[in-house]
Amino acid sequence: MSVCTDKFRTTAEAMARLHGFEGYRFVLVHHPIASLELPEIAQLAAGALDEVLAILEVTR
Amino acid sequence: MTGDVTASDTATGDTAASGTITNTLIDHQQVRRAIEHYYEEGFTDGLPVVPPTESYLAEFLAQVDRSPDEVVAAMPHLNRQCTLRVAAINSIMAGCLPEYFPVVLAVLDAMRVDVGARGATRFSSGLWQSTTGTVPITVVNGPVRLRLGFNCQGNIFGPGFRPNATIGRALRLIVMNAFGLKPHVLDQSTQATPAKYTCCIAENEEESPWEPLSAEAGYGPEASTVSFMMMRSTLHIEARSATRPDHLLSDVANSVGRTGGLYSEKTACLVVVSPEHAQLLHSHGWGKQEIREFVAENAVCTREAMERAGKTGISRDMHWLVPADHPDALPGEEPQFERRDGADVHRVLGSPDDVVVIVAGAANAGVSTVVDLMGGSSSPSGRGGGRVPAMSEIVTRGSA
């Protein structure tokens, strides 16, 4: 399960292709992360949770 | 130059200097087609490339006793390899002469350790796609410098010399074309440096009072070598009126210890000492080891400066410097400080061995350069390496 920020979308897709996983699903969150405070990180994680669970095929 | 260039009056000759076109041997439309083809294929670094041909390629391959199918570089995490033949094609495209090709191969041999083991050498990181925008810097030593006409004097980091320009460029084209490390895709550099086009310098052994870098690695004067390091940037040191070694090297150490260069607790550097500065140091009895020791001792950051820059915390996994109250900061952890002259200071170099020293440039001013290097003795990538950078001997056909 991979999560990356939207600024690395192209690179992530290219890496997946290189390893033979065209269309590999991963979760994108807004950039940046390194300069966020904890509440903002928590908000980002909460916003991504549904997509993470969907990729993992887990239902709440 | 004005007026249209037609099929009968074609390119180059002394055009660049005088505007006069004298070369009528080639058809400009064919030249243009070939040049544009490589742009369309995405095989350039933004500058035009020399179109390779099979006959010209054969001249390159004839320079060495190695198979064209030999894998000369690999990036396993990308599932990509570069054969000797592909390296030769990219060397042609970069503008190399055939006799430069053994130098390109020696660079690849030196860098193979770095790429293959993801940073097993001391002054590298294994990071070729990082947002930092790290870039190879290669240093040439030995008789090959004079034989091929490498510049080791004035304008050492600048243009004008074919071996320096094209060998460094060949390396860039190889990683772009063989490995696909292209901007906006697999190369994620946030800004990078102009050195990414090319950065191949030679040591000015003739005007150096000290043994060359190759000798530090145990090579004799008959050996020609290339050293491979990964750098982030070059910093200009203005010390034109320096008369004392401690003044000059304090300037150097102060530049190494600036907060902006620190992403983790420790760093490493290459000091490119100009001949004038080298003579000053030598006349006071200073050698490369004394330089290394002084810079390592005096490249420090004060706690105050690091606090002002928000770099007194250490992040959990990457061990990067972050603000002390950053969510990812390890509680209670900070860089190691020591008390000196009434202030808390942090040494940014782990050891004198984290300083590489060479002599290069013109003997016409008191100007030197500090190159920020990756790795170093305190970094995970540097622990397994020796004191000198990864280095390979240049081997031509029949000389092995």
| DSSP-derived secondary structure for B207-238 | G-SS--HHHHTT--TT--EEEEEEEEEEEEEE
Residue whose entry in the numeric block shows the structure tokens 């940046």: A32
Q: Which ranges of chain B does DSSP label H, i.e. alpha helix?
A: 15-18, 28-40, 54-61, 84-94, 101-116, 144-148, 162-177, 213-216, 245-256, 275-283, 288-298, 303-308
pLDDT tens track for B284-325: 999 999 999 999 999 999 999 999 999 999 999 989 999 999
- Give residue B15's pLDDT: 54
Q: Chain A contact for B129, CB < 8 A?
A: yes
Q: What is the predicted pLDDT for the residue at B6?
A: 37
> Is the CB of residue B180 less than 8 Å away from at least one CB of chain A?
yes
Give the per-residue pLDDT at B205: 98
CA B108 to each of CA B113, B127, B136, B167, B362: distance values in angstroms, whole numbers, following the listed order: 9, 15, 11, 11, 28
Q: pLDDT, tens digit, for every residue of B241-279?
A: 999 999 999 999 999 999 999 999 999 999 999 999 999
Interchain CB contacts (distance < 8 Å): A and B: 22
Which positions in chain B touch A18 (Cβ < 8 Å)? 78-80, 180
Confidence of residue B31 (pLDDT cuts 50, 70, 90): confident
Q: Which residues of B touch A15 (CB under 8 A)?
A: 78, 186
Cβ-defined contact of B327 to A41 (cutoff 8 Å): yes
Closest Cα in chain B, distance from residue A28 (Å): 16
Inform me whether the pLDDT recorded for B179 exceeds 90: yes
Interacting residues of B158 by C-beta distance below 8 A, sequence separation 6+: none
For residue A19, the distance in angstroms to the closest alpha carbon of chain B comes to 7
What's residue B11's pLDDT? 41
On the question of pLDDT at B9 being above 50, the answer is no
Q: Does A8 contact B at CB distance below 8 Å?
A: yes
A44 reaches B (C-beta below 8 A): no
Q: Mutation test of the interface with chain B: which of A15, A17, A40, A43, choosing the one with the most B Cβ atoms within 10 A?
A: A15
Report whether pLDDT(B24) > 90: no
Sign of the Cα pseudo-torsion (B204, B209, B213, B218, in order): positive
CA–CA distance, A22 with B308 (Å, rounded to integer): 46
Task: Please compute the mean of the pLDDT values over residues B235-245 and round it to a whole number.
Answer: 97
- The mean pLDDT value of chain B amounts to 90
- Tens digits of residue pLDDT in B354-399: 999 999 999 999 999 999 998 777 665 554 455 788 899 999 987 7
Check residues B358 and B6 and name the one with the higher pLDDT: B358
Show the tokens assigned to B189.
């550099």
Domain ranges of chain B: 54-299+348-377+388-393
How do residues A2-57 score in pLDDT, each as one tens digit?
Answer: 999 999 999 999 999 999 999 999 999 999 999 999 999 999 999 999 999 999 99
Residues in contact with B102: Cβ distance below 8 Å, sequence separation at least 6, in sequence order: B63, B64, B394, B395, B396
Share of chain B above pLDDT 90, in %: 80
Report phi then psi at A4, rounded to 5: -140, 165
A14 interaction partners in chain B (CB closer than 8 Å): 180, 185-186
SS3 breakdown of chain B: % helix, strand, coil, rounded to 5?
35, 20, 45
Contact A18 B184 (CB under 8 A): no
Chain A residues near residue B80 by CB distance under 8 angstroms: 18
